[in-house]
Structure 1
Amino acid sequence: MTMRAAVGLWVLSAVICVGRGHHHPDHLGHGNDKASQDTVEDGSANSVSLVNEANQEFSFRLYRQLAAHADSQGKNIFFSPASVSTALAALSVGAQGETHRQLFSGLGFNSSLLTQTDVDQAFQRFLQRANNTSQEDASEGTSVFVDNGFKPKPEFLQTLKHSYLADGFSVDFSQAAETADTINKYVEEKTNGKIDKLVENLDPSTVMYLISYIYYKGKWESPFDPELTKQDDFNVDENTKVSVDMMNMEKRFHTYHDHDLNTTVLQLPLNSSYSMLLMLPDVMATLENAISPNHVTKWLKAMTRPRKHDVYVPKFSIKTSYNLNDVLSEMGMTDMFGDRANLRGISEEQGLKVSDVVHKATLDMDETGAEAAAATGISIMPMSGFWGPVPVLKFNRPFMVLITERNTEKILFLGKIINPTI
């Protein structure tokens, strides 16, 4: 049996501040040059809309898969759909045949309406739009770490550079500990220290890592007064209460009560065009089993007239970590993990497969704003009760959270807070 090379494909997403500078390995080239920043004029607006809609649908399908998994029971859920979809879209550049079909289908891309080029151009627009907001606390991009003895197809690297704005680095994966440290420092810089150890065990036969990051740190348009933050109970379930720091503010808020889902929705605007939506359901399962992009659209459109509320929201910091292999397989993306993987768009030299897809995320909420980070890793290895509008709105029991760009309704982060203290 011939020894096959390994590729690691990692995706990183973060909502955070600008990181510190680090020494980088040798550069293969930058994606942030003028050519890759030029607006894609020939990209169809319809294709961009189709990809955006697919990404939104994917967000909630992935959420439901995570929520259903035994590993998630009794735990907070928090992840970046934008990170995972960017990762898998970048991976699809190098996928062919049935592997490519499964990736497109799993991501919700209609292959009869969308080509790989359409998808690549759409993600280029998304990334350019995110980076053209000219605010320090938001950026998105990708990077690829390639073993100095591995030669990917030039067109694969060129597409990553042009469409996914990828920076390129040449490393020596046989020096596993040193290279892992290099990658981790890069990720730590992009997430301002929030994700400090994305790579924990690096296989020395790895030949490539792809990292996609989304960075954002938002400040509330109306910050909470720290003097009003008090200890209060949070009801994890009928039998469990935990003590939390409960922030409080009385002002006019945009809220909506969804009678179909028996859920009250609070919009907390962040700086620029981002918002956090907090969803307090009567029955969590009713909300999480039914929530869709159409609900988000409906809520945002209905929030036209702010009403005065006395709002209580817990202050917290949480971290999550997932291996998404089983989750993505259950969503139909199976072949990339086994000997049937067809990643010949990356290289014809050897058979490659995905060994792990790992996602890590953090969310910090305090009186000033929200800070979040997430990282998704795809390692390619060798084949072998009723709530009406009320004056007091208190998030003192499990609720869902969503960070969205209001104009495009792009979902940066999505989750469920069961216990703010874990």
Structure 2
Amino acid sequence: MLTSYCLSSFFLMLPEGLFLCHSCFISSLFGWIEVKGGLAGLCVWGCNHGNTESHGERLSSLISQMVAGIWKITKMRTALCLWIVMGVFCLGEVKGHKGHGGDRHQGQGLDHDRRHDNDRGHNHEHKQDHNHGHHHPEASDNGTKLVIQGNGGFAFSLYKQLVAQPDNQGKNVFFSPLSVSLALAALSVGARGQTHQQLFTGLGFNSSLLTQEQVDQALQSILTQLNQKTGVDLSIGSALFLHNTFKPHPEFLKDMKRFYRSEGFTVDFTNTAEAIDTINKYVGEKTRGKIDKLVKDLDPTTVMYLLSYIYFKGKWEIPFDSEDTKEDTFHVDDNTPVLVQMMSVKKRFSVYYDQEISTSILQLHYNESVSMMLALPEKGLASLEEVIGQNHITKWHRWMKARVYQVHVPKMSITTTYSLKDVLSGMGMPDIFSNGADFSGISEDLKVAVSEVAHQASLDVDEAGATAAAATGVVIMPLSFRHTPVLKFDRPFMVIVMDQETKSILFMGKIINPANK
């Protein structure tokens, strides 16, 4: 509907514009004739300036003729420019209204007034244009591609940082890179100077190629597409909890609401128990009860709590039959077997074997563009973690082939909780936690810094499908045409939940022991 309306607005103006250009072209033609005639007259006048004719009157007449011709030319150029500006203006206005109208904002304290007097924090000497509604579609498309690439790179960087943490050794790792990047990108709206630069670099955004405006618009587009899916239950957004005496810049609140689907609430952080309860109830509601204790304690000097959430529940396109689920052995390592409930089904699946890294990949589709990819390396998970990157996901999608397989996948229900302060500092974003943090785009009256970034995710996989909230080798044996190749996930593997439409990694992690909660 938006595209149709934009084009209609443009083309309704087009006939008038063409008529205007045509009529002005005729005017311009006569204008050039008059100018050239005036120039010729001046030459003649210059050669015959000794004649008895009044030189002053003749010179005045020739100049008047040239001025009239120039005016006709100028009028045509002005009319054409106005027509083009009106066309771009209408396209920009419609796109801007669409983004504004798509907000579903409840709560208090989010001002609709818009000011554009603050720099967005890039290392530019000039002030940037904050008129988000007016932009070239080509620039927007390119910005979205760069943001998607940045998000993909950030997902794998964050994964490698998490699995390297001493506390995570030998444990399941599961998180939502999109939820984390969404919160940090929202934070960058109010960051300035080096703080902003560190956030952009850490998120995988090149500030010489991407502006804050492009990031805002790209994430707005991604969030809109994800929240509009009907074949799966997918909800993603953010929220701001503000101390009742803290007044951030109105433009910061405006951008949070418009581009990051942020809901706003005022709380009294000095009453820590009540503030914790308010935030946890909100998160529990948004994640359908999967995560209800994100916040365990709060500093009473807190002035703002920014959170992002994502909830996903999808049914398998090819479901497992619960009658075929049996108790089986999962090998955590060579010396640690555990009993799990192993689901099994024989159907046509998308499978790929990556010879370069000796890894088998199974793609389990949901009812829409979302799918779960399970990667099982022959040489151990550590060998896969050393080399895997965004390019592997692209390659796997390209070379997936459908074939009948006997697939075995363990049922699992896991919950993970992470403090990301040290992780994000290690990814090049230490300033946001320091006294030198520059969040003057949030508030100039009160100097603020980030005290903690908490992340919690959960994953449930059963015969019907998977629910997630932010949350011995493979035996492939084509012995003969009468035998079905087997793909059995009975040892540590990697899991990636991805939306192919937006190229977004919603969740990712590794399963070391599906028996652990």
Q: Same fold (TM over 0.5)?
A: yes
- Higher relative CO (Cα under 8 Å, sequence separation at least 6) belongs to 1
| TM-score, reference length from structure 2 | 0.72
Which of 203, 210, 235 is 2:306 aligned to?
A: 210
> What's the counterpart of residue 393 of structure 1?
487
2:397 is equivalent to residue 300 of structure 1: yes
Compute the displacement of 1:285 (Å). 1.4
Task: Give the corresponding residue for 2:384.
Answer: 287
Q: Report Cα offsets for 1:248-295 as digits up to 9, x if no partner.
A: 001111100001111000000011110000000112112111111111
CA distance in 2 between partners of 1:165 and 1:322 (Å): 24
- Give me the whole-angstrom Cα distance separating, in 1, the residues matched to 2:135 and 2:359: 40
Which one of the candidate residues 395, 407, 413 is aligned to 1:317?
413
Q: Which residue in the other structure is 1:116 paired with?
A: 212
Deviation by residue 1:168-208 (Cα, 9 ceiling, x = unmatched): 11222121111110110000000011111111101111111
Q: Give runs of aligned pairs for residues 6-405 of structure 1, distance below 5 A.
A: 27-29=108-110, 42=137, 44-135=140-231, 137-282=233-378, 283-303=380-400, 305-374=401-470, 387=474, 389-390=476-477, 391-405=485-499
Greater C-alpha radius of gyration: 2
Does the aligned pair in 2 maintain the 1:30–1:166 contact within 8 Å? no
**Cα displacement string for residues 145-183 of structure 1 (whole angstroms, at most 9, x for unaligned residues):** 111100001111011011112111122212111111011
1:403 aligned partner, one-letter code:
V
Higher helix share: 2
Match of 1:407 among 501, 504, 508: 501
Q: Within 2, Cα distance between the matches of 1:334 and 1:203?
A: 20
| Contact 1:229-1:246 at 8 Å conserved across structures | yes
CA deviation map 1:99-125 (0-9, x unaligned)? 111100101100000011111111111
Alpha-carbon shift at residue 407 of structure 1 (Å): 2.6
SS at match of 1:204: coil
Distance 1:419 1:75 in 2: 7
Report deviation, 1:215.
2.0
Q: Does the 8 Å CA contact 2:222/2:502 hold for their aligned counterparts?
A: no
Cα 1:39/1:292, change in 2 over 3 Å: farther
In structure 2, the CA distance between the partners of 1:220 and 1:40, relative to structure 1 (3 Å rule), is farther
SS of alignment partner, residue 44 of structure 1:
helix
Moved over 6 A (4+): 38-41
**How far off its partner does 1:137 sit?**
0.8
Alpha carbons 2:232, 2:368 under 8 Å: kept: no
Distance 1:290 1:408 in 2: 24
TM-score by length of 1: 0.87
- Distance, in Å, in 2 between the alignment partners of 1:30 and 1:198 is 27
Q: 1:211 to 1:135 in 2, by over 3 A?
A: farther
Counterpart in the other structure of 1:382: none
Structure number having the greater strand percentage: 1
**How far is the alpha carbon of 1:132 from its aligned partner?**
2.1
Name the count of aligned residue pairs.
Answer: 384
RMSD of aligned alpha carbons: 2.1
Q: Distance in 2 between matches of 1:193 and 1:133?
A: 21
Q: Which amino acid aligns with 1:399?
A: F
Letter in 2 for 1:272: E
**Conservation of the 8 A alpha-carbon contact between 1:30 and 1:165:** no
Deviates more, 1:167-176 or 1:325-334: 167-176
Structure 2 gap segments, 5+ residues each: 1-104, 113-132, 478-484
Could you tell me which runs of 5 or more consecutive residues in structure 1 were left unpaired when the two chains were aligned. Answer: 1-23, 32-37, 376-384
Distance in 1, Cα, partners of 2:328 & 2:193: 55
Tell me if structure 1 keeps the 8 A contact 2:242–2:305.
yes
